[in-house]
Amino acid sequence: MSDTSEYAEVEGLAINRSDDLLQLTLLRPEKRNAIDVVMMEGLVRAFTAASTDDGLRVIFLEGIGEHFCGGADIVARNRKDADAPKPRAGSIQRRLPVQAHELISLVLEVQVPVVCKVRGYAAGIGFALALAADFTIAEDEARFWAPFAQRGFTPDSAMTWLLPRRVGEVRARELLMLGREITGADAAAWGAIHAAVPRADLDVTVHDFLGEVAAGPTVALGLTKWLLHAGRDASLEQQLRNEAFALELSSRTDDFRAGMAALSERRDPRFEGR
């Protein structure tokens, strides 16, 4: 099991590792929980630690207050400071692979289910995180927005990879090139997120869903997540090999034996995540 001391809180990010749940909460409500460099690095470290945490069964990502995440804090990043040296050419290209792009890759690849709760705005990288999570549940009136073109620059955080795969290329063009905002209800109807519910039901729905995911066969769920991700670019031959590999591993788990016992005894399985 990963040492829980590896989950170090930073300013703007609360981290709670308890039982089999890792809860990550964005803590800048006055900025719509916009993610700054410190928060980004904290999230990358947390997801990196989670990837080797054998006691973990679900990761939960949320924002405090009225909004999930208003995007990256580009205002702070580009604030004029007479004493600060001007960044060298190529600074964005060097920074993104170890910050926002690394974070999205970790969310997509960590072999633990990631559940995201969205109220209010999910913009920019907030939208990308909601797309990258395995399950995102939003309030019906949440707002999903990719504001890149409206700010005069191009998308990042895998938005041009995620959106076409979630909602199709035609709708992705509308969202990325025209900057259309969509509600949580529309995002669910388009297949961008798992579900949308009335605001009054959001907390209870997410709480119950976290319990359902945490009670699942964690190794099998993680390997299924890997198969779905790898299968997007694999040939049929390669994906069949991947499935054989995953089946070999999952069939050696305690949860597999628990599932077989439940089947023979005609009862619901009780998985331990092992």
For the segment 226-268, what is each residue's pLDDT rounded down to a tens digit?
999 999 999 999 999 999 999 999 999 999 999 999 899 999 9
**Phi, psi for residue 106 in degrees, rounded to 5:** -65, -45
| Phi, psi angle pair for 132, to nearest 5° | -75, -25
pTM (two decimals): 0.91
The closest of 39, 59, 56, 172 to 108, measured between CA atoms, is 59
Report DSSP state, residue 115: E
For domain 4-214, give the CATH number. Answer: 3.90.226.10
Which of 5-9, 175-179, 221-225 shows the lowest mean pLDDT across its residues? 5-9
- Kind and range of the H or E run holding 209: helix 202-214
Contact 110, 58 (CB under 8 A): no
Residue 149: pLDDT band (50, 70, 90) is confident
Give the DSSP letter string of 21-85: EEEEEE--GGGTT-B-HHHHHHHHHHHHHHTT-TT--EEEEEESTT-SB--B-HHHHT---TTSP
Q: How confident is the prediction for the chain on average, in pLDDT?
A: 91
7-32 pLDDT per residue, tens: 889 999 999 999 899 999 999 999 99
Decide: 99 and 41 in contact? Cβ < 8 Å. Answer: yes
**Cβ-contact 132, 161 below 8 angstroms:** no
Give the whole-angstrom CA distance, residue 86 versus residue 106: 30
pLDDT tens for 46-92 read 999 999 999 999 999 999 999 999 998 765 555 555 565 666 665 66
Q: Provide the 10 A C-beta neighbour count for residue 225.
A: 18
Q: What are the C-alpha distances in Å from 68 to residues 18, 74, 116, 157, 226? A: 22, 17, 9, 16, 26
Rounded to whole angstroms, the Cα distance separating 92 from 23 reads 29
pLDDT for 74 equals 66
